[in-house]
Every structure is written in structure tokens, then in C-alpha cells.
A and B are shown apart, each in its own frame.
Chain A
Amino acid sequence: MKEQTRPYSRGRRLKNQIMSVITNPYNVIVLIAIILLVYLIVLPLFDMLSTTFKLAQRDLRAVPGGQAGEFTLYYWQRLLASKLSYSMLIKPLLNSLLIGFGVSVCAIALGSALAWLMVRSDLPFKPFFSLAVIIPYMIPSWVKSQAWLSIFKTPRIGGAPGFVSSMLTKMGVTNQAFLEPIAYGPVAIIIVLTLHYYAYTYLLVSAALNSVNSELEEMAEIKGAGKAMILRKITLPLVLPAMLSAVILTFSKAIGTFGTINYLGSPVDFRTLSSQLYSNSKSQNTQTAFAMAILMIAIASLSVFINQRLIGSRKSYATIGGKGGRSTLIGLGKWRPLITFILLIFFAVGIIMPVVILIIESCMLVEGTYSFSNFTLYYWIGAGNPDIMEGVPGIFRNSNFMLALTNSLKLTFVNGIAGTFFGQILGYMCAKGRGKFHGGLVEQLVFIPYLIPSVAFGGIYLSMFSKPQSIFGVQLVPALYGTFALLTVTSVVKHLPFASRAGTSNMMQISGELEEAAMIKGAGFFKRFIKIVFPLSKGGFISGFMLIFVSIMKELDLIILIMTPKTSTLPYLAFQYQNQNCPQASNCVAIVMFSIVFLVYALANIFGDADLAKSMAG
């Protein structure tokens, strides 16, 4: 007991405190992670913000007496408080909110209904359906927009009319004005985006439903509640946190999307904040575009904030019932055939058709002519006929395609693995640090790249890493321009929100006691991570990988600036073919992309125990 009487020493306390922080690799890693995240995420954001306060040379003509690079409120004043504000900001903003809310409501409803049917009901053909519902996430939304137009396009805007319109004309219906609001504008956009983004809700809610013990529902049944009441009073509240979480993802994506708005909104001059942003960026109004991006980030952050308030302490609802509880399927009764039929139609129209249309169009010699003589496999395997596509051979005989394919595969696999790895580590921090300052900070930081427009993000990274990065004269990072490393850094950081989300839910499933048991045995942080945490998170690792893989495979905006001429990828090739007015070849590339994604997903599903739904929960 001698030591007990040893006087208190502030010096020893300080030394012990420092030692405990330094000698714990977890703390060190958290610290490094936060520094890196600030550097890789906050800095670009700050760069964007400061750009909006700097007068560009191109705007000297509008600001008499100005000097390029000097501080100015010109852009914000013009955006927020000028006679242009209404048409430049307010109206598009309202449209954005309309789309955001519309898509959120529809996607949540559709996704939840599908999730319920798939998880809790006795729906037939479940294996088929559960594979089919993920497909929309894999098809780029512009493909769906095109498919939409090929069905509903009206003669008014010229070109070949859509399927419905041709049918109507054949039947003698000439006044087709009623088709207009379906073909273009907000309704069309909301429908098409809903078909794209319901996957988020489906994934999140079905994961939550899976963890709800059906005994909870049975209890209510014993108490005499009807099916509708059980759904409303028991099931719905239990999965509400998951639904609110889905709202965030859907809402932020819906207000940020551009392609669909451009396709389906342009003909009726329907513009949103995202299309304004894109136009300004295309017109070299970088500052205005950035200012709009920052406003969008603010809106999305606000929705995250509101969401967190709404979810609050309920976050742990879904696990109260506990896993491993019995799950009794609910009979659909006499509705079963009808619901099955509706679902089959839905999948046929909403999911299979875009793919089929894409395939058919890739085999048409001349666009828009639906006849058998017009059928060709030239764009796939043609040897190079000077009359078609300016003599460029079909994609499988084309060295450019092979190069792009190799690059794309390399990029997606390397980045998918790197992104998943970092995502798991960050997810570990979010899970372990839940309710603590560092956990919250990491979670917030990691969400930001989700909201920064891809082109801006890519541009800023190009600038940052084209020069060697040094601090106090010590070079930390060499110039990465043109290296594969830069492509990797950029795509990994941009996809961190998904990766770390998958990581978090993955890590939440691993009980802390498993690690504590190893800690008692004297296993250090790294040993625990390698021997315990990592092997246990293998399944989640694969699902996380899939999420990123799918998304990087489709990526163009982000990496086009960072790419060098020799590192072109499949989306770039598709874009090039589109430029050369050869949509058939572009479609071929899109089909190849889709096939790769689908194949990898199917393989992961069969061999790797991957489940996208699981990695989205949490």
C-alpha cells in the first residue's frame, strides 16, 4: 500500500494521459483519419467556398474596376439578391424541392412496399424478385430516361414519336396533348427517378424488416389488431428510422441529379437547381456553379440535421426485437395472385424493358427503324465498314474498347477494394465512436463528398494533387498527376459515404465483447483487427465492395478531368460514341458495363454471401 500514499503528481498524470493516447493505435488511427478527412474533404469544400468570393477574370467585364482574384460579393449578391434571383435561384430551387420531395415520397412508398412484400409476405418467386429489384440501381438513370422517351415521346417536339403515341396515331387519336405532362416535366422526372432511387429504400427497409422479430407483430394480433393496424402501429414505427435514413439518401440524390432532368425537363423548360448548376458550369460560370453547389450542400445538410432530430434516440429500434427471432410470413390471401401479377408487370415495364430496349437499339443499323432488315450485329462484332460509324469496327474488334475495358476493370476492382477497406476502417470508427465526439465527427465528414458535384470534386483534386503536397517544407505527397493513384484517391474519397456506411452497419453487427475478449487476452489493436474484426466482417466487406463497384463503374464526370488520354474507361467510351452520334455503339458499351456489374453482383451473391441490403442498414 506504499504507492497509495505517494503524493499526487500532475506531471505523472500528464505523462500517463499522453502515453495512453499515443500507445493506443486506435487513437492514433482516429487522429490520422480525422486529419486525412479534413485534408481530403473539408479543404476541397473550403476551396469551393473561397472560389465563390474571388472575382474571376471573365467577370471583370461585369464588375468595372475589379481585379481578377480580389474579394467580391458579386456572385452571392447576384444569386441571392438581384433581379435575376428569381429565375436563377428561387424558381429552380422550388422545382428542386418539388422533385426532391416527390421522389422521396414515391420512392419511400414503393421501396417500403416492395421490401415488405419481399421480406414479410408469402409472395411467390422471391429469389427472382429479390434479384430483380436491385437492377435499377445498376442501370444508369439516363438509360431509363431514354427508355421513358421511347415509350411516351409525343410528336410535338419532333423526331420519332414514342410507342404509345404511334399506337394512338394508328388508332386514329390525333389530339395527344394529354400525353405531354406524362412524357416530360416534373411528373415524368419523378416517376423515372423513383424507379431509380427506390432501391435505397428497399435495401434499408428490408434490412430493418429482417431484424424485426415477427413475435412483435403476432403479439399485436393476439391483442386483436387487424393486419392493417399491425402494419400501421407496430411494423411501420419499427422500420421508421430506416425509412427516414432512406429519405436522406434519396432526397440528396434527387436534388443533385442532372441527367434525367436534362432529358425529361428540357423540352418543357423545367429547370432545377442541379440543372442550373450544370448549365453555369458548362458556361464557364464556375463561381456561380460553386455557389449553387454550396447551397445544395446546405439544403442536404439541413435535411440530414432534421432527420437526425426526427430519428433521435429511436436509432436503435430495429434491433430491440433482436435477430434470430422467428419470422412468420404473412399470407396475402386472395390478393396474392393480383399482387404477383402487378409486380411482374412492374418489373417487366420498369426494369427489364429498359435493358431490352438498350439491347435492341444496339442491334439496329439505323436508329428508330423497327424492321428485321435493320437488324445488325455490326456494332458488336463488325470488322470496320467505311459506310457505318465512319469505319470504326464493332466494339469487340476495337482496340480502344479493349483498352477501356481493361482500364475500367482495373479501376473498379482496385478502387472498389481500396474504398471498401477504408470504408470498413471508418465504419469501425463510426460504430465504436457512436455517441462520442470523434465518431460523430467522422460520420459527418464522411457524408460531405456525397453532396459535392462530381465535376467540382474532380477539378479540385486535380489542382490539389498535380503539385507535390508539402508541409513546413517537407514533401508529403509527390505530384500525382496522371497516376493511377490520383484516380484511386479521388474515386475512393468520393465514394466514402457509401463505403463507410456499409462499414458502419457491418461493424455494428460485431459485438464489442468479441473484441474485448481478445483485449483481455492481450491482443493489441492490429492483432484484434486482423484476427477478429476483419474475418467477422468478410460478408459485409463484399457487400460494401459491390456498392462502390457499381457506382465507380458508372462514373464519368468525376474522373474525366483526372483521366489521361490513355486511361480512358468504359463510360468515357460510351460518351465518345454518343458524341460521334453512334448511340448503338454507345449502347453496346452500356450493356457491357451493366453485364459486368450484374455478373459481379451475381457471383458475389452466390459465393461471397454478399447482401446489399445488409450493408445499407445501420
Chain B
Amino acid sequence: MNIRKILAALLALMMVLTMAASAEALTAWEEASGIYNGDETDEELYQKALEEGATVTLYSISSRCGKVADAFMAKYPGLECVPFDISTNELLEKVTREYDAGQHVADVVHIKDQDGSMYLEYVANGIFYNYKPTEILSHIDPSYTETATPLYIELTQLFYNTEAYPDGSPITNIWQLTEPEWKGRITMQNPLDNLSWGSWITGFCVGDEPDRLAAAYEELYGEALTLSPECENAGYEFLKRLHDNQPIYCASSDECAEAVGTPGQENPPVGFSASSKLRKAVDNGWVFAPVNLYPDTGIPAVNTLYIVEGCEHPAAAKLLVRFMMGGTDGDTSGYKPFNTLGGWPVRDDIEPAEGSVPYAELNVAGFDANEIYVNYNLVRDFWQMLG
């Protein structure tokens, strides 16, 4: 525990030093691109973008990047935006290998920093940059902008079948999931399978989350939680009991949602799934609703934008980042594709999609990039050990 605290402190120190160093002496690219300058106007950037090549390439983990590109090109005639929809792992593999090889293809990267590695590995090493448009950032809670240029927030939520449970969720407290009734009836993705689920389980074991979990347990059962020998806090204990209840692993988040939301089921499972699946519910005829779980539904996943070091179209990249974040002129067509059910805007001046529960009313764990990053391996190994 101590070692991890020290490590975290060291990391924080390292970050500060990196920042300080970069403030002292700018690289040629930093100088030329003016990456730290957040005060340029859209018009200035548009002109520069036209001059520097009139194109910008966006690597995105969201299939909605195509719509963003279309909207961007409609708003800024003469600029070409090339979107590339690719999954997290391939995106990182591609962008790092291209970067190492000196191929500056991607200008803007849209990805989630779920385990803190984007900030602690990519930003700290000067591969990615958090561009900070001053005017837009003034509308965002500073806790989000510390380590990221946030786009919107997604959650991993518990869903239940509203047809089978018309009176509301059968589960309200997270510990109910560990009861025998739900054995083999919880769907989720295997946390070993990818970074986002790995980070999500890590979130339960760090910060003040274990204490909140322990309190929730006592509240539900009226007695204090007894930790198993291998569990050092209530977070690990929860994961162990969840694992013991044999969750059913789905191949994708969609499958989890489908398993819970398909109508006509007699004894449907409950399941964790990305909140973004809410927007697909109508299309697919799913009958499910999210639970505002107590004490919370785990850590949020903040979608973040980065500008890649050395990119050849920094002005267009900045313009695209501003555009995607909702701009400053009241035209939010760049953000619109993301403003759907299951996604929450970070800006205080943009309303969430119609029918959304206000973010403030949701129970969400705190996100500390450092804590998650340092503990990620330990928690993943813990889950691996469970079998």
C-alpha cells in the first residue's frame, strides 16, 4: 500500500516536472503549432488550417466520427476531415507505431482515458497533447480538465428488464448482486478482456470507493462487512463475491444489453453495460432501464480528445477539437452526434439529450487517473487469480 502511495506521488511529481520542463523550453513543433495557445479564435484557426493543407485526420473509437466529419466539412468549406473508426486497442497500436515511425497521419485522437495511461504515458511523454481552448474550458468543471480535454462522459450502468420488473429495479444496492438469487444471472464483459472493464473494476478498489462500499453493505444488511483474507478492502471483497456469483460474460457490450433488454423473457438477467446502449434501445426494441445503483455504478469513462505530437495540421486539429467540444458560437453541430441518451456533456452550457437523467443525480464513483493507473495491474491480476 505504501509503495503504491509513493509511486503515485512520484508519478504526480514526474507530471509536474514534465509540465514545468515543457513550459521552460518549447520544442519546434510546440512552438510552430502553438499547442499551448488556447486563445485563438475559430476564424483564425480556419484561415491557418486552409493554409497548412486544408485537411485533418481523426482517429476515433466511436462510429459517430463519420457524422462529425460531415458536419465539420459542412461548417468549414474547403477543409477536409478524414475520420477513421477503429477500436481502442488497434487505435493505440496504430497511432504509437505510426508515431514511432515518424508517420504523422492522425491529427486528432478521440479515445477514453480509462486507466489513466493516456495521461500518464502518452501526454506525459509528449506524444499526445491536451489542447485547452480557454473559452470552452471555462464551461467545464476543472476536475475533468486536469488530465484531459474532455468530450463527454459515459458510464457503466446496471440494466434491468422493465417488462419483467414493471415496479422498478429488483436491485438498488450494489451488494444485492452478490446474493444467491442472482447467481449466474448477471451479464457483463470479462474485465480481463479489455482496458475499459479492467479499469472499471479497478475503480471499486481505490480512493474512497472501498469505504463507500463498506458503508453501503452495512446499510443493507445492518452488520459490518467481513473481509476475506485475500481482500485488502471492501472493493476487492465486492469483486470476489461478484465473481463467485458466476457472472455471464458477453462478447460485447451490445450482447449484454440485448441479454437484459430482449422482451418476452420469463426470468431475465440483470447486466452491466455501457450507458451508451440506451440510445440503441428504441431501435432494437429493447425493454430495459438503468439502475441508479447505490452507492454508485463505478467510475465514469470520460471521452477525451488529444492532438498528436508532430501532426502536420495543428490548426485544423485545434479547430476540430473545438468543433467537437461544441464550439463557442452557439453552433453545437460538432457535439450533437455525441449528445445522445447514455452520454453526458461535460459543459455546463450544453443540455444533455432529451430524456436523460441529469448527471448530478447519478451515483458515480470519483475518477483519479493516478490511482487507477497505479492499481490497474493489481486489480486485474486479482480478478485473474479468482479464476
What is A's interface to B at a CB cutoff of 8 Å? 57-59, 61-62, 64, 83-84, 87-88, 91, 155-160, 262-263, 266-267, 269, 276, 278-279, 281-284, 286, 366-369, 388-390, 455, 459, 462-463, 466-467, 479, 481-482, 560-561, 564-566, 576, 579-581
Task: Confirm or deny: B144 has a beta carbon within 8 angstroms of a beta carbon on chain A.
Answer: no
Contact A62 B249 (CB under 8 A): no
Q: Tell whether A282 pairs with B63 under 8 Å between CB atoms, given A64-B7, A158-B259, A267-B249.
A: no
Q: Chain A residues near B190 (CB, 8 Å)?
A: 266, 269, 279
Contact A466 B97 (CB under 8 A): yes
Can you give 23 A-B contacts (C-beta < 8 A)? A58-B117, A84-B385, A91-B387, A155-B265, A157-B248, A157-B269, A158-B259, A266-B248, A266-B249, A267-B250, A279-B190, A279-B192, A283-B192, A283-B194, A366-B285, A462-B94, A463-B101, A466-B98, A481-B103, A564-B84, A576-B85, A579-B85, A579-B87
Contact B385 A83 (CB under 8 A): yes
Question: What is the distance, in angstroms, from A134's C-beta to the closest C-beta of chain B?
Answer: 28
Q: Chain B residues near A466 (CB, 8 Å)?
A: 97-98, 100-103
Contact A561 B97 (CB under 8 A): yes
Question: What is the distance, in angstroms, from B61's C-beta to the closest C-beta of chain A?
Answer: 9
Contact A158 B262 (CB under 8 A): yes
Contact B250 A482 (CB under 8 A): no
Distance in angstroms between the alpha carbons of A580 and B117 in the assembled complex: 26
Question: What is the distance, in angstroms, from B336's C-beta to the closest C-beta of chain A?
Answer: 12
Q: Chain A residues near B3 (CB, 8 Å)?
A: 64
8 smallest A-B Cβ distances: which pairs?
A466-B101, A158-B259, A565-B84, A266-B249, A159-B259, A158-B269, A580-B63, A282-B194
Which of A159, A282, A459, A479 has the most chain B CB atoms closer than 10 A to its own CB? A159
Q: Which residue of A lies closest to B193 (CB)?
A: A279
Q: Tell whether A155 pairs with B267 under 8 Å between CB atoms, given A266-B250, A282-B194.
A: yes
Distance in angstroms between the alpha carbons of A564 and B271 in the assembled complex: 36
Task: Confirm or deny: B290 has a beta carbon within 8 angstroms of a beta carbon on chain A.
Answer: no
Question: What is the distance, in angstroms, from A66's C-beta to the closest C-beta of chain B?
Answer: 11
Tally B residues with Cβ within 8 Å of A.
Answer: 69
Mark B253-291 against chain A: 1 for CB-CB distance below 8 A, else 0.
Answer: 011001110101111110100000000100111000000
Q: A561's contact among B94, B187, B194, B246, by CB below 8 Å, is which?
A: B94
> Which of B20-28, B231-239, B374-382 binds A?
B374-382
Q: Chain A residues near B225 (CB, 8 Å)?
A: none
Distance in angstroms between the alpha carbons of A504 and B121 in the assembled complex: 48
Contact A266 B105 (CB under 8 A): no
Q: Chain A residues near B194 (CB, 8 Å)?
A: 279, 282-283
Q: Tell whether A84 pairs with B93 under 8 Å between CB atoms, given A58-B121, A157-B269, A160-B262.
A: no
Q: Chain A residues near B262 (CB, 8 Å)?
A: 158-160, 368
Q: Chain B residues near A389 (CB, 8 Å)?
A: 283
Distance in angstroms between the alpha carbons of A358 and B140 in the assembled complex: 46
Distance in angstroms between the alpha carbons of A564 and B59 in the assembled complex: 10
Contact B94 A284 (CB under 8 A): no
Distance in angstroms between the alpha carbons of A576 and B190 in the assembled complex: 22
Q: Which residue of A lies closest to B276 (CB)?
A: A581
Distance in angstroms between the alpha carbons of A561 and B87 in the assembled complex: 11
Task: Confirm or deny: B295 has a beta carbon within 8 angstroms of a beta carbon on chain A.
Answer: no
Q: A57's contact among B7, B121, B246, B264, by CB below 8 Å, is which?
A: B121
Which of B193, B195, B269 has the most chain A CB atoms closer than 10 A to its own CB? B193
Question: What is the distance, in angstroms, from B369's C-beta to the closest C-beta of chain A?
Answer: 12
Q: Total number of A-B contacts with CB less than 8 angstroms?
A: 152
Q: B254's contact among A59, A564, A581, by CB below 8 Å, is which?
A: A581
Task: Confirm or deny: B224 has a beta carbon within 8 angstroms of a beta carbon on chain A.
Answer: no
Distance in angstroms between the alpha carbons of A481 and B67 in the assembled complex: 27
Distance in angstroms between the alpha carbons of A389 and B279 in the assembled complex: 12
Contact A482 B103 (CB under 8 A): yes
Which of A84, A263, A267, A479 has the most chain B CB atoms closer than 10 A to its own CB? A267
Q: B63's contact among A284, A561, A579, by CB below 8 Å, is which?
A: A579
Q: Chain A residues near B264 (CB, 8 Å)?
A: 160
**Can you add 16 more A-B contacts, CB < 8 Å, to A159-B258, A284-B117?**
A57-B125, A62-B377, A62-B378, A158-B271, A266-B251, A276-B192, A282-B193, A282-B194, A283-B380, A369-B285, A455-B89, A466-B97, A466-B100, A467-B102, A579-B63, A581-B283
Q: A61's contact among B7, B187, B266, by CB below 8 Å, is which?
A: B7
Which of B100, B280, B384 has the most chain A CB atoms closer than 10 A to its own CB? B384
Contact B248 A267 (CB under 8 A): yes
Q: Chain B residues near A467 (CB, 8 Å)?
A: 101-102
Q: Which residue of A lies closest to B383 (CB)?
A: A87
Q: Chain B residues near A59 (CB, 8 Å)?
A: 377
Distance in angstroms between the alpha carbons of A545 and B192 in the assembled complex: 39
Contact B193 A283 (CB under 8 A): yes
Contact B89 A281 (CB under 8 A): yes
Q: Which residue of A lies closest to B243 (CB)?
A: A269
Task: Confirm or deny: B86 has a beta carbon within 8 angstroms of a beta carbon on chain A.
Answer: yes
Which of B101, B260, B385 has the most chain A CB atoms closer than 10 A to its own CB? B101
Q: Tell whether A87 pairs with B387 under 8 Å between CB atoms, given A58-B117, A283-B198.
A: yes
Q: Tell whether A284 pairs with B101 under 8 Å between CB atoms, given A158-B265, A158-B269.
A: no
Q: Chain B residues near A158 (CB, 8 Å)?
A: 187, 248, 258-260, 262, 265, 268-269, 271
Question: What is the distance, in angstroms, from A267's C-beta to the closest C-beta of chain B?
Answer: 5
Distance in angstroms between the alpha carbons of A286 and B385 in the assembled complex: 20
Which of A87, A283, A561 has the most chain B CB atoms closer than 10 A to its own CB? A283
Contact B377 A561 (CB under 8 A): no
Q: Chain A residues near B268 (CB, 8 Å)?
A: 158
Q: Chain A residues near B376 (CB, 8 Å)?
A: 61
Q: Chain B residues near A263 (CB, 8 Å)?
A: 251
Question: What is the distance, in angstroms, from A96's C-beta to the closest C-beta of chain B?
Answer: 16
Q: Tell whether A481 pairs with B101 under 8 Å between CB atoms, given A59-B377, A368-B262.
A: yes
Distance in angstroms between the alpha carbons of A580 and B94 in the assembled complex: 21
Question: What is the distance, in angstroms, from B107's C-beta to the closest C-beta of chain A?
Answer: 12
Mark B171-194 against chain A: 1 for CB-CB distance below 8 A, else 0.
Answer: 000000000000011010010111
Distance in angstroms between the alpha carbons of A463 and B102 in the assembled complex: 10
Q: Chain A residues near B342 (CB, 8 Å)?
A: none
Q: B284's contact among A266, A367, A455, A564, by CB below 8 Å, is which?
A: A367
Within 8 A of A (CB), among B353-387: 373-374, 376-378, 380-381, 384-387
Distance in angstroms between the alpha carbons of A114 and B76 in the assembled complex: 62
Contact B100 A463 (CB under 8 A): yes
Task: Confirm or deny: B334 has a beta carbon within 8 angstroms of a beta carbon on chain A.
Answer: no
Q: Chain A residues near B43 (CB, 8 Å)?
A: none
Distance in angstroms between the alpha carbons of A389 and B63 in the assembled complex: 12
Task: Confirm or deny: B92 has a beta carbon within 8 angstroms of a beta carbon on chain A.
Answer: yes
Contact B251 A462 (CB under 8 A): no
Question: What is the distance, in angstroms, from A72's C-beta to the closest C-beta of chain B?
Answer: 14
Q: Chain A residues near B94 (CB, 8 Å)?
A: 462, 560-561
Q: Chain A residues near B15 (CB, 8 Å)?
A: none
Distance in angstroms between the alpha carbons of A586 and B337 in the assembled complex: 21
Q: Chain B residues near A566 (CB, 8 Å)?
A: 82
Distance in angstroms between the alpha carbons of A88 and B86 in the assembled complex: 28
Distance in angstroms between the alpha carbons of A493 and B373 in the assembled complex: 38
Contact A565 B57 (CB under 8 A): yes
Task: Confirm or deny: B150 has a beta carbon within 8 angstroms of a beta carbon on chain A.
Answer: no
Q: Tell whether A155 pairs with B193 under 8 Å between CB atoms, given A366-B285, A581-B280.
A: no
Task: Confirm or deny: B44 has a beta carbon within 8 angstroms of a beta carbon on chain A.
Answer: no
Contact B84 A87 (CB under 8 A): no
Q: Which residue of B lies closest to A266 (CB)?
A: B249
Q: Chain B residues near A479 (CB, 8 Å)?
A: 101, 103
Distance in angstroms between the alpha carbons of A467 and B97 in the assembled complex: 11
Contact B248 A564 (CB under 8 A): no
Task: Confirm or deny: B329 has a beta carbon within 8 angstroms of a beta carbon on chain A.
Answer: no
Within 8 A of A (CB), among B53-106: 57, 63, 67, 82-90, 92-94, 97-98, 100-103, 105
Q: Chain B residues near A282 (CB, 8 Å)?
A: 88-89, 193-195
Q: Tell whether A156 pairs with B184 under 8 Å between CB atoms, given A88-B384, A283-B198.
A: yes
Q: Chain B residues near A283 (CB, 8 Å)?
A: 192-195, 198, 380
Distance in angstroms between the alpha carbons of A284 and B112 in the assembled complex: 14
Contact B195 A284 (CB under 8 A): yes
